[in-house]
Amino acid sequence: MATEEEIDDSLYSRQRYVLGDTAMKAMAHSNVFLSGLGGLGVEIAKNVALAGVRSLVVHDTRIATCKDLGTQFFLREEDVTAKRNRAEACQARLAELNPHVSITSSTASLTSKSDPSFLRQYQCVVLTEAPLSLLLMVDEFCRNQQPPIKFIAGDVFGLYSYTFCDFGPEFTIMDRTGEEPTESFVATITKANPGVITSLDNRMHGFQSGDHITFKEIEGMTILNGSTQQVKVLSPYAYSICDTSGDDYQPYENGGIAVEVKIPKTVTFESLKKQLDSPSTTFVDFLKDPIFSHVAVHSLQQFREDHGRLPGVRSLEDSNAFIEIARQLNGKLESALNPLDEKSLRMISFTAEGCFAPLTATMGGIIAQEVLKALTGKFTPINQWLHLDASEVLKDLDQCPASAFQPRNDRYDALRICLGEDLLGKFHNLKLFMVGCGAIGCEMLKNYALLGIATAEKGKITITDNDIIEKSNLNRQFLFRPHHIQKPKSTTAAASTQDINPSVNIDAHLHKVCPDTETTVFNDEFFKDMDVVVNALDNVAARQYMDSRCVTNERPLMESGTMGAKGHVQVIVPHMTETYGSQRDPPDESVPYCTLKSFPATVEHTIQWARDKFEISFTQKPTMFNKYWTNNGSPEVVIKKFNDSEQPENSMAVIKLLKNRPVSWAECVSTARVKFEKYFNHKAKQLLSVFPLDHKMSDGTLFWQSPKRPPAPVIFNTASELHMLFVVSTARLTAAYCDIPVSEHDLSTDTLLRILSGVKVPPFKPSNKVIETEASSPTKPQQLLEPSVTSDEIEQCRQQLAQLLAKKRATPGHCRMIPADFEKDDDTNGHIDYITSASNLRATMYHIELADRFKTKRIAGRIVPAIATTTAAVAGLATLELIKYVKGATLSDYRNCFLNLGLSLIMFSEPGPASVTQIKPGLKFTQWDMWHVHGQRGYKLKDFMQHFKDTYGLDISLVVHGVKMIFVPMMPGHMKRLSKSMLELLKPSDGIKYMDLTIGFEPPSEDADEDLPAPPVRYYFGL
């Protein structure tokens, strides 16, 4: 396991944002035992290995078979031929996932009669594919140890799966949610019993009843500072705490921040023996009863215990015996089912010998997350059973002949037993397009290979990703290995997928799916040739674009995503469900410009300020500088333009940059030192000169009150590590864009101190610039354009440029800069050093708690936390919905999902139906509809309008193409366009056969305010 200092540059960078340092260290000292290396076991092993435990022992006594190849992605055909033990065959491939984890295999016999004392060396024991008697024996042994060994059991029986957790009689949850502690600014605190607190500016406080909070920076009722209080929520904007009416509680005056305190919680787990008859089950789908799933799973375990095997495929005799066991076990339950769904039980019996790969992926991700919880105390464990099934897929399969489900001794037997040969054939011939080959993409491809998607001649998986593999990807993008770093993701993922199943037909692209490739690579014909489209993306904008392309071309879209322990799956089916664009998340709350510039209140504000400073100083200004000389020519040409009274844009800013441009390392250091003084000393003095500490507003209240914090000038000190980090990182970035080499000698302490001792820092001079104090401007100005300049200023620019030419500081080399491209993952480039030091110096100036480099990097780099467990679970659920689509499901069979593995929360819901818009009685459309109009070369606008009059009885009031208005009657000259051809009005580029138009219809009466809506219209030129 990497040391704390190495973590940022290791495999664990994204995962660390999910689990935190304490949990990562706990895992680094933990040993895990995992028995059963079938499809579920290898998924758990993969995720646990990627997470970074100290050691993992994988145990199995079974020999690899053809059937295993349908769920066990680390087995190969040669392992089956050689009759290798499953654990031994997988050990080396598992070890490749993470060099920091010791992975060994064991083939020792393990039965209910075995001596379990060897398990004492492990902190967590996981059993899969184990007989019930063995589960009971091991669970009892683990509970009786001091401290108890955490025990987890799980299995996948056909289309049903379960996990059971027992973390002992007492288990401490250190952090229930894993979220950053909630903070809320205080507006008022009453002297009452109980005291009521309202949040500042009517912002929601975010607390829940029962939460514990502490306070800081309260003025007046200072006794609350540092105290811990329990919250009772009164409204989203108010909550109560303790009795504040006593004399110890002085009246509240001003300020204050309430901060959530993470209080450890101890929970109790019961034994497996007790839980079998009195289960604590988790609801995941409110259309299903988890007690039924529990009865089914317990009955399968009991059948295997009694017969040494699972019920036979489509065996009526076995299913009858199984149902009888279910009746008996149901009768023992405290909450027995009445009636017992015996038809569903029979189908469960028929498919129990199978194994459904999407469920092994999903349950494998969930169980691996429970292992991490057991080892770290981070997040809320499952209490105590969780059942997942794909019973919707069983619908109508009882109508198929039994022969379609019988094994054929090939890699698809486990799936064939569940779904039958006909559905298997549809998978083989599927044409699938997946965008993105990152974490989710790798998991999806693994699932597709196991299912045999696109293994027939007609089938094909097309994937695309324009990214390359980085070291930080290896922790969760499990198809990649260290020797793949800097190689394309798509082609590498394709090759690794074919390692799992050599028969997969896969076509890898390096193109980005965007408007630039819309008419070339990924055009409408490409989309229409696909049976289904899959998103494996990490940003909303790309998802929205893919959604629009699928809607336009009426293609189904399987959408999913993750963020840390959270994930979602959305099924989008043409003309059946709503689209991704139907629902919008609320926009992120923007920070007012005045807050970032002058009145930061949190470290997030200072980090954003530092990130903006980086972008302006080292990217935007150098880019503008280069563009200026490219557009205007050499300095001699620019001087001639000045002489001719021309005014090239941005001349003053560019010549100032040229004049102040360093030409040596010493000048870079000097520039950095002057910036320190300007940003962290003079800025504070300027604010305090305009708004002294006792400054009052027009209503008599103090100007400097929460959330405004008065700054204090920072005095530069070479002995301060933070101060020197800012100077060095700023100087390095300055040298980089000025193309000045920097040596180790330049960076030595002696050299830096010598240069700094000679820097002349300009004294503070008050400015008459207006300081924005109102939050009227929500964002910072985006452009660097200067206002128009006067003739005197032009002459000043000319003189300065002439002087620079004379001094040979305006040579071609000086008229080029190298803009920085912000890169958060390269710790040698100084980017995060600059942002961390600048942010923390600004935080120091405003008395804000500092943020470490780790937190700064996450916020400044907008890093999405990620962990392999969630990715595996989400990919499995998305693949399940894909299978339903291929099978031909109805709306009620599909499930959208939101999950938070940290809270053991999984919520399924039926997708929303496609919304219907009525144009007029008898005429309506959904967001999936598009009207098609076929014209020809001479087809006029009036013909286009007449088409809608004749077809729908509607009069067009608006025709628009993109942002271009084609016909708006009230616009001057537009009525004359009626006689013009559509070809003349739309002006298509060569090769364009059609254009998509937006139209509106005249309202039914003059009193109506808005035009009637219409679906998009695709107009074909007929050329």
pLDDT band at 1008; cut points 50, 70, 90? low
Q: What is the pLDDT of residue 2?
A: 39
Query: For residue 471, is pLDDT > 70?
Result: yes
The pLDDT value given to residue 585: 63
Q: Give kind and range of the element (H or E) at residue 375.
A: helix 357-376
| CATH architecture of the domain with residue range 1-176+266-291+354-414 | 3-Layer(aba) Sandwich (3.40)
**pLDDT tier at 166 (50, 70, 90 boundaries)?**
very high
Q: Which residue has the higher pLDDT, 910 or 592?
A: 910
Say if residues 863 and 857 touch (Cβ distance below 8 Å): yes
Of the candidate CATH numbers 3.40.50.150, 3.10.290.60, 1.10.275.10, 3.30.365.10, the domain formed by 916-1020 belongs to 3.10.290.60
Q: Are 164 and 385 in contact (CB under 8 A)?
A: yes
Tens digit of each residue's pLDDT (9 = 90 or more) over 411-463: 999 999 999 999 999 999 999 999 999 999 999 999 999 999 999 999 999 99
Burial tier of 984 (Cβ tally within 10 Å: 0-12, 13-18, 19+)? exposed
Q: Does 781 have pLDDT greater than 50?
A: no
- Is it the case that residue 62 has pLDDT exceeding 50? yes
- The residue ranges of every structural domain in the chain are 1-176+266-291+354-414, 183-261, 429-564+875-888, 593-860, 916-1020
Q: Rounded CA gap, 667 and 659, in Å?
A: 12
Q: Amino acid identity, residue 697? A: M
The confidence score (pLDDT) of residue 3 equals 41
Containing 593, the helix (H) or strand (E) segment is helix 593-597
CATH superfamily of 183-261: Ubiquitin-activating enzyme E1, FCCH domain (2.40.30.180)
Is 429-564+875-888 in CATH node 3.40.50.1260?
Answer: no
The predicted model gives 533-553 an average pLDDT of: 93
Q: Which residue has the tokens 């894909």?
A: 882
**For residues 536-560, average pLDDT:** 94
Between 973 and 79, residue with greater pLDDT: 79
Tens digit of each residue's pLDDT (9 = 90 or more) over 362-398: 999 999 999 999 999 999 999 999 999 999 998 888 7
Q: Of all residues in the chain, what percent carry a pLDDT higher than 70?
A: 96
Q: How far is CA 863 from the centre of its chain?
A: 9
Q: Tell me what pLDDT residue 187 has.
A: 94
Q: Is the pLDDT of residue 788 over 70?
A: no
Distance CA 498, CA 505 (A): 8
Q: 1007 pLDDT band (50/70/90 cuts)?
A: low
- Nearest CA to 206 out of 244, 171, 180, 169 is that of 180
- Which letter does DSSP use for residue 618 in this model? I
Residue-wise pLDDT for 261-313, tens only, equals 999 999 999 999 999 999 999 889 888 999 999 999 999 999 999 999 999 99
780 pLDDT above the threshold of 70: no
- Whole-number percent of the chain with pLDDT over 90: 77
DSSP-assigned states of every residue in 281-347: B--S-TTS-HHHHHHHHHHHHHHHHHHSSPPPTT-HHHHHHHHHHHHHHHHHSTT--SS--HHHHHH
Torsion of CA 669, 674, 678, 684, to 10 degrees: 90
Q: Annotated catalytic, 355?
A: no
Is the predicted pLDDT of residue 782 greater than 80, yes or no?
Answer: no
SS3 label, residue 957:
strand
| 4: confidence class by pLDDT, cuts 50, 70, 90 | very low
- C-alpha span between 555 and 158 (Å, rounded): 30
Residue scoring higher pLDDT (668 or 20): 668
Q: What is the mean pLDDT of residues 951-971?
A: 90
Structure tokens at 102: 């010791």
| Residue 1 pLDDT | 37
Would the pLDDT of 786 be above 60?
no
Query: How large is the average pLDDT for residues 849-871?
Result: 92
- Asked if the 593-860 domain carries CATH number 1.10.10.2660, the reply is yes
Contact 784, 621 (CB under 8 A): yes
- Residues 301, 136: Cα–Cα separation, whole Å: 12
DSSP percent split of the chain into helix, strand, coil, nearest 5: 40, 15, 40
What residues contact 936, with CB distance under 8 A and at least 6 apart?
1021, 1022
Do residues 163 and 153 touch, judged by C-beta distance below 8 A?
Answer: yes
Structure confidence by residue, pLDDT tens digits, 316-374: 999 999 999 999 999 999 888 989 999 999 999 999 999 999 999 999 999 999 999 99
pLDDT of 194 higher than 80: yes
Mean pLDDT across 170-194: 94
| pLDDT band per the 50, 70, 90 thresholds, residue 9 | very low
Q: Cα separation of 909 and 915, whole Å?
A: 17
Catalytic member of 437, 442, 550, 594: 594
pLDDT recorded at residue 104 = 97
Residue 776: pLDDT band (50, 70, 90) is: low
Strands 557-563 and 566-572, by their bridges, are antiparallel
Give the mean model confidence (pLDDT) for residues 725-741. 96
Position 658 pLDDT exceeds 60:
yes
Q: Under 8 Å CB-to-CB from 934, ≥6 apart: which residues?
A: 1020, 1022
Q: CA separation (Å) from 224 to 238, 685, 693, 757?
A: 17, 32, 24, 46
Which three-class secondary structure state does DSSP give residue 268? Answer: coil
User: What is the predicted pLDDT for the residue at 787?
Assistant: 58
**For 849-904, where are the alpha helices, taking DSSP H only?**
853-860, 868-887
Contact status, residue 244 vs residue 194, Cβ threshold 8 Å: yes
pTM over 0.75: yes
Q: Long-range contacts for 485-491 (Cβ within 8 Å, ≥24 apart)?
A: 489/437, 489/438, 489/441, 489/465, 490/437, 490/463, 490/464, 490/465
Same topology between domain 183-261 and domain 429-564+875-888: no
Average pLDDT for 96-111: 95
Distance CA(52)–CA(69), nearest Å, equals 26
Mean pLDDT of the chain: 92
Please name the helix (run of DSSP H) or strand (run of DSSP E) that holds residue 725, with its range, or none: helix 721-737
